[in-house]
Amino acid sequence: MKNIRNFCIIAHIDHGKSTLADRLLDYTGSVTEREKQNQLLDSMDLERERGITIKSHAIQMDYTYKGEQYILNLIDTPGHVDFSYEVSRSIAACEGALLIVDAAQSIQAQTISNLYLALENDLEIIPVLNKVDLPSANPEEVTDDIVELLGCDPEDVIHASGKTGFGVDKILEAVIERIPAPKGNPDEPLQALIFDSVYNTFRGIETYFRVFNGEIKKGQKIKFVATDKEYYADEVGTLKLTQIAKKSVKTGDVGYLITGIKTAKEVKVGDTITDFDNPTTNIIEGFEDVKPMVFAGIYPVDTEDYEELRNSMEKLQLNDASLVFAPESSAALGFGFRCGFLGMLHMEIIQERLEREFDMTVITTVPNVSYHAYTNKNPDEAFIVNNPSDLPDPSTVNRVEEPYIKATIITKSDFVGNVMSLCIEKRGMVLNQTYLTPERVELTFDMPLAEIVFDFYDRLKTVSKGYASFDYHPIGMKTSKLVRLDILLNAQPVDALSALIHADNAQNIGKKMCEKLKELIPRQQFDIPIQAAIGAKIISRETIKALRKDVTAKCYGGDISRKRKLLEKQKKGKKRMRQVGNVEIPQQAFMAVLKLND
C-alpha cells in the first residue's frame, strides 16, 4: 500500500488536462507506440472532438522511482459544471490532486470550486503551471496567483508543457514524494467507493471503485449500500489502458468490477460497496442521488419513430444514469419524452449522441427548470412543473417557486461592470465582490437557475470577451412572478414553443421570440402570422411573408448537377422539419428562445 498513489487532476476546460495526462502515460510507458492517440482517456468520439471529458476515467501506471516500483492511479475527471457531482466523487477517491493552471489564462472559477472540494477532502495539492512554452504564457504572474490561492511556496509550483512533455518527470516525482500513500486497514470489512460506471455492450456495466478498507475478491458476494442490492463480483481487476483481471483488488487501490449489471441506474456514483456477509458499518459519506436540473422535450421528427426513440433513449440510459425521461405528449409534436439533464451541456450531448450513435433525428424543445406550483386549494403542497404546459390555470395558482443557484464568476476587473449588468439583467442579486488580485475579481450572485438556461453562457462569454469563468450550485426554491409565454403560428398555439418566464421580461422576450422565429421558419406558400401571447393577450406579432419565387430561371446543361445537389440539400433540410398544422418548422426554431440575442 505504501507504494500506491491515487490522484486526480483539477483543471479548467482547455487548460490542457487531457494532453498532460497523455504525457504522463507516455512517460511511464503505460501506452505503446501503437496505442497512442490524442486524449487517450477520452474514449468517446464526442469527447475527443469537443476536447472535453464527459465521463470520469481511471488508469493505472507503473513507475520506478529511486529503485522502487510504484503504482500510480490517475482518475481523470469531467471539467464541466454539469458534471460537478462526478468530480466530487473522483476527488473523494484520491489522496492528492494535480492543480493544472494554464500559464496564460490563470485560475478560473470552475478550478477554484473544485480546488475547494479537494481541500475539503484533505487532498495534497500539487500545482502545475501548464503551457509554459506558449508565447502568451505569463508564468510569474500566474505563479503569484497560485501562491496566493494555495498559500504554498513558489518553488512548489511545477512548470510543465503537455505539448512538449517538459516537466513531466518533476510531476511524477512530486506525485510520489508529496502525495501520501493511502491509509486503510486490509483486515477490516470491505469498504469501497464507486466513482464511475461505464457501459459495455458485451459485459454490461463496469463499475469503477476505490478500496478504502479490506479487499474485493473475484467471486465475492458483495452489496451496494445505497441501492441495497447484492451481487457476485464476477470479475475484478485494475485499469491499465485495457483491463487487467486480478484475483483481488486490495486496500488503497483503484479497480473495476463486473457483476452482470445491465443498466447504469443500478450503479450510483458515490455509493459504497461492501461485503455481503460481513458488511462495513462505515458508509462513505457524501452520497447523493443526482437530480436533473434542466428539462426539455425530445420528440422524433417523424412521429412513426417514437418507439425507436424510446429504445434509443433506454440504451443511452444504460450508460448514462443521469439521463431521466418520461413519456409526454404535445399537441404540436405528438408523442415524445420529457427528459431531465444535469445541465445544458449534458442536454446537447444527449441530443448529439442520439443522432450519432442511434441515427435518430430529434426535435428538442425549449429547456426549462423544475418549478413548484402551489394552488389556492392546496397552498402547502408543491405541484412539480417540469413542462410549461403543466402549469395550472393562473387563476388557481397561489404562487410559483423556481430553483435558485449561487453563482461564482471570476473575471478581469475590466469586465466587472459588464458581467454585473448581465447578471442583474438575468435577475441576479450581487452578494459579494472580491479582488483575488488587482486584475482578477470574483463575483458571487444569487440567481434563478432558469436564467442560466437561457443563453447565459454565450452572453457571459461575449460581455467578458471570453475572460470569465463560471460555477454554480443550487441553493433552493424561491417564489417568483412567472408567466407562461405562448407562441401561435397561423393562429394556432404551438405548445412546444411555450416557455415559463419572469413577468417583467415577458414583453421583451415575446417580441424577440417572434423576430427570431420569423428568421428561422422558412417562407411557405402563404403568409404565416407569428404571435406571442400571455393568456389571451397578444403581446407581439410578426408575419412571415408568402414565398412567391422559388425557381432558378436559367438552367443550362452545366447547371444540372449543381442544381440537383442544391435541391437535394434542401430536401435533406426539410427532413429535419416538423409539420405543425400546415406550417413546417425547422428543428432550430424550437430552441429559438435560447438564441434571442444572436
Q: Which residues contact 65 (CB under 8 A, 6 or more apart)?
A: 172, 173, 176
SS3 content of the chain, % helix, strand, coil (to 5): 30, 35, 35
Distance between CA atoms of residues 252 and 183, nearest Å: 7
Window of 319-327, 344-352, 490-498, 546-554 that interacts with another protein by CB under 8 A: 546-554
Stretch that binds another protein, among 165-173, 452-460, 489-497, 545-553 (CB under 8 A): 545-553
**CB 12 within 8 Å of CB 87:** no
E runs forming strands in 203-253 = 204-213, 216-217, 221-224, 229-232, 235-239, 243-246, 248-249
Q: Is 245 in the site for another protein (CB under 8 A)?
A: no
Q: Which is nearer to another protein, 202 or 556 (CB)?
A: 556
Stretch that binds another protein, among 149-157, 223-231, 309-317, 568-576 (CB under 8 A): 568-576
Q: Which of 186, 568, 581, 597 binds another protein (CB under 8 A)?
A: 568
359 binds another protein (CB under 8 A): no
Tell me whether residue 14 is annotated as binding: yes
Nearer to another protein, 173 or 302 (CB): 302
**278, 560, 581, 597: which one binds another protein (CB under 8 A):** 560
CA atoms of 42 and 78, how far apart (whole Å): 10
16 known ligand binder: yes
Rounded distance between C-alpha atoms, residue 106 and residue 116, angstroms: 16
Nearer to another protein, 135 or 558 (CB): 558
Residue 68: CB atoms within 10 A of its CB come to 10
311 near another protein, judged by CB under 8 A: no
Q: Is 214 annotated as a binding residue?
A: no
Binder among 34, 377, 537, 549 for another protein (CB under 8 A): 549
CA angle 572, 360, 521 (to 5 degrees): 45
Q: Which residues pair with 71 in a beta bridge?
A: 4, 62
Q: Which residue of 67, 151, 476, 557 would you call a contact of another protein, by CB under 8 A?
A: 557
Given the complex with another protein, which of 245 and 567 has the nearer CB atom? Answer: 567
Q: Smallest gap, in angstroms, from Cβ of residue 547 to another protein?
A: 7
557 carries a ligand binding annotation: no
Q: Does 431 bind another protein (CB under 8 A)?
A: no
Stretch that binds another protein, among 39-47, 312-320, 463-471, 563-571 (CB under 8 A): 563-571
Angle at 323 between CA 319 and CA 328, to 5 degrees: 130
| Contacting residue, 66, 377, 537, 554, with another protein by CB under 8 A | 554
CB of 597 to another protein, least distance (A): 24
**CA nearest neighbour of 294 among 385, 384, 386:** 386
Smallest distance from the beta carbon of 553 to another protein, in angstroms?
4
In the structure grid, which three cell numbers stand for residue 301, read together?
Answer: 421528427
Our finding on whether 558 is near another protein (CB under 8 A) is yes
Beta pairing class for 492-493 and 482-489: antiparallel
Task: Give the distance between the most distant pair of CA atoms in the chain.
Answer: 85
Q: How many CB atoms lie within 10 A of CB 455?
A: 18
Please, is 166 exposed, middle or buried when counting C-beta atoms within 10 Å of its C-beta (0-12, 13-18, 19+)? middle
Shortest reach from residue 561's CB to another protein, in Å = 5
Question: Is 502 marked as a binding-site residue?
Answer: no
Q: Please state, in angstroms and rounded to a whole number, the distance separating the CA atoms of residues 182 and 33.
A: 32
DSSP state string for 41-79? T--SHHHHHHT---S-EEEEEEEEETTEEEEEEEEE---
If one asks whether residue 574 binds another protein (CB under 8 A), the answer comes out as yes
19 is in an annotated binding site: yes
- For another protein, the binding residue among 276, 481, 547, 597 (CB under 8 A) is 547
Q: Is 31 annotated as a binding residue?
A: no
Residue type, 111: T
Our finding on whether 304 is near another protein (CB under 8 A) is no
Stretch of residues binding another protein (CB under 8 A), selected from 147-155, 302-310, 389-397, 559-567: 559-567
Query: Should residue 478 be labelled a site residue for another protein when binding is judged by CB under 8 A?
Result: no
Q: Is 331 an interacting residue with respect to another protein (CB under 8 A)?
A: no
Q: What Cα–Cα distance (Å) separates residue 233 from each residue in 112, 230, 429? A: 38, 10, 51
Of the two residues 536 and 551, which places its CB atom closer to another protein in the complex? 551
Note whether 581 binds another protein by CB under 8 A. no
Q: Is 555 in the site for another protein (CB under 8 A)?
A: yes
Options 66-74, 116-124, 337-345, 560-568: segment touching another protein (CB under 8 A): 560-568
Q: How far is the CB of 544 from another protein (least distance, A)?
A: 14
Q: Which is nearer to another protein, 473 or 565 (CB)?
A: 565
Nearer to another protein, 536 or 553 (CB): 553
Q: Cβ distance 115 to 104 under 8 Å?
A: no
Q: How far is the CB of 519 from another protein (least distance, A)?
A: 17
- Report the sign of the C-alpha dihedral through residues 309, 314, 318, 321, in that order: positive
Count of positions on this chain that bind another protein (CB under 8 A): 24
Q: Is 132 annotated as a binding residue?
A: yes
Amino acid at 518: K
Determine if residue 17 is labeled as part of a ligand binding site. Answer: yes
Cα distance between residue 3 and residue 71, in whole Å: 6
Is 202 one of the binding residues for another protein (CB under 8 A)?
Answer: no
Asked if 201 touches another protein (CB under 8 A), the answer is no
**Distance between alpha carbon 572 and the CA centroid of its chain, in Å?**
30
Distance CA 199, CA 233 (A): 16
Query: Nearest distance from residue 557's CB to another protein, in Å?
Result: 4
Select the span of 180-188, 233-241, 259-267, 555-563 touching another protein (CB under 8 A): 555-563
**Sign of the torsion formed by the C-alpha atoms of 257, 260, 265 and 266:** negative
Q: Which residues lie closer than 8 Å to 164 by C-beta, 6 or more apart?
A: 133
Q: Report 514-543 residues binding another protein (CB under 8 A).
A: 525
Only one of the segments 185-193, 425-433, 458-466, 562-570 lies at the binding site for another protein (rule: CB under 8 A); that segment is 562-570
* Contacts to another protein by CB under 8 A: 525, 547-558, 560-561, 563-564, 567-568, 570-572, 574-575
Report the binding-site residues. 14-19, 130-133
Report the binding-site residues for GTP. 14-19, 130-133
